[in-house]
Amino acid sequence: DVKVTQSSRYLVKRTGEKVFLECVQDMDHENMFWYRQDPGLGLRLIYFSYDVKMKEKGDIPEGYSVSREKKERFSLILESASTNQTSMYLCASSFNSNINTEAFFGQGTRLTVV
Amino acid sequence: AQSVTQLGSHVSVSEGALVLLRCNYSSSVPPYLFWYVQYPNQGLQLLLKYTTGATLVKGINGFEAEFKKSETSFHLTKPSAHMSDAAEYFCAVSGEDTGRRALTFGSGTRLQVQP
């Protein structure tokens, strides 16, 4: 079974803190993604990576950065957390195939910024 | 850019009734389409997918969906709802913006099943 593991289920951080969300996958997938989930908005893509050290902006990259130093690990960084970044964050991974873009998701991290 | 519209943010059915969740998409390339389910406090789990071939796709838990190119639709159905089907459902299309690497999701439909 594919496993995508997010390091925390729940996080509470203060405004202005630097926040790291970690994600690890064990299926040797090339692609990794960070999505943000908000009620009524569905999932929105923040950043994705298709190879080590490669990253591409998604639809809502402002206020976020990412790091991919190893193939299995993809980190989302909130440089200076703000209350409008309170949300559910979902990590996903997939093979780099143009006929099968099925993504496998982690359990999510619910981040509250106070 | 591709997009997905899910009609109805909340759908309520009785146990044993037909489930119909609607999804329409737009894409400038032949679409790859997906339905995911999310149970409370969980990540997303793939229900079914359409890439090429047969337009009627069967998935897990008795769900199926039909790709209709002329209607740009990919509606999800299940003949008989079960209490355990209560969850949030997301339709998604592979993104030509990202070389089909990332998925673009709809806003979701929360399914409630009444006893």
Chain A residue numbers with beta carbons less than 8 Å from the beta carbon of B102 are: 31, 33, 45, 48, 58, 101, 103
- One-letter amino acid at B58 equals K
Provide the number of CB pairs (under 8 Å) joining chain A to chain B: 70
Distance of CA B78 to the CA centre of its chain: 11
Classify burial at B38, counting beta carbons within 10 Å of its beta carbon; exposed 0-12, middle 13-18, buried 19 or more. buried
Chain A residue numbers with beta carbons less than 8 Å from the beta carbon of B50 are: none
CB distance A43–B49 less than 8 Å? no
pLDDT confidence bin for B2, thresholds 50/70/90: confident
CA distances from B52 to A93, A95, B37 (A): 22, 18, 22
- Token pair in block for residue A73: 């690990």
pLDDT tens per residue across span B62-94: 999 999 999 999 999 999 999 999 999 999 998
pLDDT for residue B20 is more than 90: yes
pLDDT, position B107 = 95
* CB-nearest partner of A50 from B6, B32, B101: B101
Contacts of residue A39, defined as CB under 8 A and 6 or more positions apart, other chains included, come to none
Gap between the Cα atoms of B113 and A42, Å rounded? 21
Classify burial at A16, counting beta carbons within 10 Å of its beta carbon; exposed 0-12, middle 13-18, buried 19 or more. exposed
Alpha-carbon torsion, ordered A40, A24, A58, B74, to 10 deg: -50
What does the DSSP 8-state code read for residue B41? T
Interface test with B, best of A101, A105, A107 (most B CBs within 10 A): A101
The pLDDT tens digits along chain A (114 residues) read 669 999 999 999 999 999 999 999 999 999 999 999 999 899 999 999 999 999 999 999 999 999 999 999 999 999 999 999 999 999 999 987 766 678 999 999 999 999
